[in-house]
């Protein structure tokens, strides 16, 4: 069969090319662009123009149909991702959406997000357009071809010994203190701290903490408490270490709550942690931020160039969990036990993010190696000094 000759198009005065089909013009700044637009129209014509459905119209019912059994919290998370997509492409016809446009959504809405958050968005976008393919609205899935940028790795860290001493020394009467100490010396997630009931979960007789509940954001400034944790091992039992026992002894009810004992909400959590940060900084610097550099003594120090820089308290809740894991590994806690206490499904997360080699552990391991090499060297020297045996 002879090869079909490529159609040549006439270039207009404005620089564009035009291809006609049934009297309709299709323009492009290159011949290929104009021909592709005409070919796309023909494909839509074969599909009965089903592709002329906007993304907003299609996704309005799709989300609930595709995910009928998810929790309110999960649905709220999926809706956030979908709204990011609709913000940029909601009024576009599904058949007109290209991979580059979806990549632009990633760049605009997920610039400084974590890898896991971006991955969740891509999974949703791919599933949405897969359904559109199955329904005959489009022939290919643009979301599969739109590779997002690499997100940020876990930005949490192990706290320093100085920060640990600050936490143990300052603001021990603050409302956030019991939760702070529990996250630091039990490694529980912030979501688990918000759901933990001291009366029901802490066994002071057997020195254990039972993690059986967590919270998920359910919208409208509220959390939904559920027994379904982040992983299959989320529900677990953790040893009650002395600092936590001391902080929780004599307390009842929720680990963290409103001033009148009301369940924790996103607003309560945010305000409580911000209040704790401000009080810690005041204790560390010896003065509130508002008055820093304004007193007579500090103005004099400033004139002399001796005013010390303001010290910020930069520890965030997940740093405390990170620090617990590092502390366990520094003190020789076996890896599988650490996985169990942390509530992970396997060792991947611990090895990748939480199992940070601290300076202390590095020094201990270096000393072990030095001792081992010292003994090996001595054994070699002793062997060399032994007299050769004389045949009788």
Q: What is the pLDDT of residues 254-284, one digit of tens each?
A: 999 988 888 999 999 999 999 999 999 999 9
Band (pLDDT 50/70/90 cuts) for residue 163 is very high
Of 1.10.150.130, 1.20.1250.20, 1.25.40.10, 1.10.540.10, the CATH number of 55-145 is: 1.10.150.130
Least confident of 47-61, 159-173, 292-306, 323-337: 47-61
Indicate whether this model's pTM tops 0.85.
no
We find that the CATH architecture of domain 161-321 is Orthogonal Bundle (1.10)
Q: What is the pLDDT of residues 91-110, one digit of tens each?
A: 998 888 999 999 999 999 99
18 vs 197, more confident: 197
Band (pLDDT 50/70/90 cuts) for residue 369 is low
Is 337's pLDDT higher than 70? Answer: yes
382 vs 60, more confident: 60
182 vs 2, more confident: 182
149 vs 184, more confident: 184
pLDDT of residue 107: 92
What average pLDDT is seen over the chain? 85
**Rounded to the nearest 5 degrees, what angle is found at the Cα of 367, between the Cα atoms of 361 and 373?**
135
Q: For the chain, give every domain's residue range.
A: 17-46, 55-145, 161-321
Is 201's pLDDT higher than 80? Answer: yes
Sign of CA dihedral 64, 66, 72, 75: negative
């Amino acid at each position: 069969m002879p090869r079909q000759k490529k159609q040549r198009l006439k270039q207009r005065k404005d620089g564009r090319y035009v291809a006609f089909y049934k009297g309709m013009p299709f323009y492009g700044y290159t011949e290929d662009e104009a021909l592709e637009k005409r070919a796309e129209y023909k494909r839509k014509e074969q599909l009965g123009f089903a592709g002329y459905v906007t993304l907003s119209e299609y996704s309005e019912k799709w989300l609930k149909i595709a995910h009928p059994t998810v929790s309110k919290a999960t649905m709220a998370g999926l809706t956030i991702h979908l709204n990011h997509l609709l913000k940029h492409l909601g009024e576009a016809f599904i058949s007109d959406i290209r991979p580059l446009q979806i990549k632009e959504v990633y760049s605009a809405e997920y610039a400084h997000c974590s890898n896991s958050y971006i991955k969740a968005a891509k999974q949703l976008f791919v599933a949405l357009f897969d359904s559109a393919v199955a329904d005959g609205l489009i022939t290919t899935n643009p979301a599969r071809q739109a590779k997002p940028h690499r997100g940020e790795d876990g930005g949490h860290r192990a706290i320093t010994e100085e920060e640990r001493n600050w936490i143990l020394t300052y603001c021990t009467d603050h409302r956030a203190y019991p939760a702070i100490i529990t996250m630091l010396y039990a490694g529980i997630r912030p979501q688990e701290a918000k759901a933990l009931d001291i009366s029901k979960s802490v066994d002071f007789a057997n020195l254990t903490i039972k993690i059986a509940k967590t919270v998920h954001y359910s919208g409208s400034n509220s959390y939904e408490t559920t027994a379904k944790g982040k992983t299959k091992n989320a529900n677990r039992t953790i040893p009650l270490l002395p600092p936590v026992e001391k902080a929780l002894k004599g307390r009842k009810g929720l680990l963290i709550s409103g001033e009148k004992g009301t369940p924790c909400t996103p607003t309560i959590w945010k305000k409580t942690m911000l209040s704790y940060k401000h009080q810690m900084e005041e204790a560390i610097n010896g003065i509130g931020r508002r008055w820093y550099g304004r007193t007579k003594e500090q103005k004099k120090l400033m004139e002399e160039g001796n005013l010390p820089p303001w010290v910020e308290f930069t520890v965030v809740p997940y740093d405390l969990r990170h620090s617990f894991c590092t502390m366990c590994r520094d003190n020789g806690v076996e890896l599988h036990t650490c996985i169990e206490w942390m509530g992970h499904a396997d060792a991947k997360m611990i090895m990748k993010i939480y199992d940070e080699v601290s300076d202390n552990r590095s020094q201990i391991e270096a000393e072990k190696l030095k001792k081992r090499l010292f003994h090996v060297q001595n054994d070699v020297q002793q062997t060399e000094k032994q007299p050769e045996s004389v045949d009788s």
